[in-house]
Amino acid sequence: MAKVSIVGAGAVGATAAQYITQRSLADVVLIDIIPDTARGKSLDLQQASALLGESATVCGTGDYALTADSDIIVITAGVPRKPGMSRDDLLKINAQIVKEASAKTIQGSPRAIYIVVTNPLDVMTFLCWQTTGLPTQRVIGMAGVLDSARFQTFIAEEMNVSSADVRAMVLGGHGDLMVPIPRYSTVNGIPVTELLPHDRVEALCARTRDGGAEIVGLLKSGSAYYAPGASVALMVQSILLDERRLLPCSVNPRGAYGLKDVCIGLPVILGRQGAEQVVSVKLKRVEKRALAESAKAVLGAIGQMKQLLS
Ligand code: APR
């Protein structure tokens, strides 16, 4: 059985663990700064496994030694923004957490593939890549899969069709400047731009951009975790089973799309070696400009993070 360690046994971490074990993809180690949280959720998940007849195990701990020899490390550890906390405060705190989690896990799992979930996503993915010193293809941010799932859901709802027939592509940074690409979003191969009027497509793109905030607004406390957890599990599956799915993920483009020195959402092929290939597709001028703007914002935030950490 493969091994996946998830740093941060919060809502997203535990939900990812649930989907991973349910599909018997890997044994899971849940690790948290509050070890009893990890232990409690692991016990609960194990007891669910007993009912569902799953063979994958879950173990909760505060000890990084137990993450050794992981095939995949998922980093969800972080704090949410609280009232009175500036964006800079949040950036600094989460950067310190992600740096620590990356440094502590890489020691025991030098050949792992990392999936980063903590926000601000693209900046934290870049930091994890820098801290671990791994090749770019082994450090991947989870955002595009989630944002695309949101776009997929909204398209399906708008057209009253099964979301199983809808594929969607959302590129760029995970934030206000994400870049949904309707031309490459289809209902069973038919671009949505052929199926819906322009203003409706634009409205669905806007709702996708605000997809996280919409859920935060409804929940009142906390943020989304089912779809983020499922997004992590989908990426884990594509990697461990070497499915080579083409998915939007945050990666260091190393020159692809004219971008470098950032991490940003691009279509990649996810297989056993990680983000094995960045797939270059033709973008229209306006899409290219939106992607460049998005990358510029991430680049700025990376600079800010470096200052805050120095
Ligand atoms: N080491 C390990 N775990 C940590 C650390 C640390 N240094 N700091 C915080 N944690 C843990 C918390 O104890 C908590 O259990 O990370 C977990 C975060 O869980 P939640 O607050 O429930 O957040 P969640 O909804 O799971 O979201 C995880 O993803 O959406 C992003 O940036 C967002 O921080 C959020 C992350």
Interval 73-98: pLDDT, tens = 999 999 987 777 887 889 999 999 99
**267/254 Cα distance (integer angstroms):** 14
Q: What is the pLDDT of residues 43-77, one digit of tens each?
A: 999 999 999 988 999 999 999 999 999 999 999 99
Greatest Cα pair distance, the chain, in angstroms, is 55
**Residue-range domains of the chain with CATH:** 3-143 (3.40.50.720), 144-302 (3.90.110.10)
**Ligand 1 centroid to residue 62 C-alpha, Å:** 14
Do the Cβ atoms of 185 and 168 come closer than 8 Å?
Answer: yes
Q: Is 198 in the active site?
A: no
Alpha helices in the chain (DSSP H): 11-22, 35-52, 87-108, 121-132, 144-159, 192-195, 198-209, 211-219, 226-240, 285-309
Mutate which of 33, 75, 216 to test ligand 1's pocket (most atoms within 8 Å of Cβ)? 33
Rounded Cα distance between 79 and 10, Å, is: 10
Atom of ligand 1 nearest to the CA of 15: 26
Integer CA distances (angstroms), 237 to 196, 233, 249, in order: 33, 6, 14
Q: Is the Cβ–Cβ distance between 78 and 56 less than 8 Å?
A: no
CA 110 to mean position of chain CA atoms: 21
Instruction: Look at residues 287, 117, 118, 270 and name the one whose alpha carbon lies nearest to residue 205.
Output: 287
pTM for the structure as a whole: 0.98
Look-up of token digits 């799953």: 54
For 107-141, what is each residue's pLDDT tens digit?
Answer: 999 999 999 999 999 999 999 999 999 999 999 99
Look up residue 276 and give its DSSP letter: E
Contacts of 289 (CB under 8 A, 6+ apart): none
Torsion of CA 166, 171, 173, 177, to 10 degrees: -80
> Can you give the pLDDT at residue 83?
76
Q: What integer best gives the mean pLDDT of the chain?
A: 96
- Catalytic residue selected from 41, 150, 174, 209: 174
Amino acid at residue number 125: T
- Ligand 1 binding pocket mutation candidate from 76, 92, 150 (most atoms within 8 A of CB): 76
* Structure-block tokens of residue 181: 């690409």
pLDDT tens-digit series, residues 195-227: 999 999 999 999 999 999 999 999 988 899 999
Burial annotation 22-34 (CB, 10 A radius, 16+ → b, else e): ebebbbbbbbbee
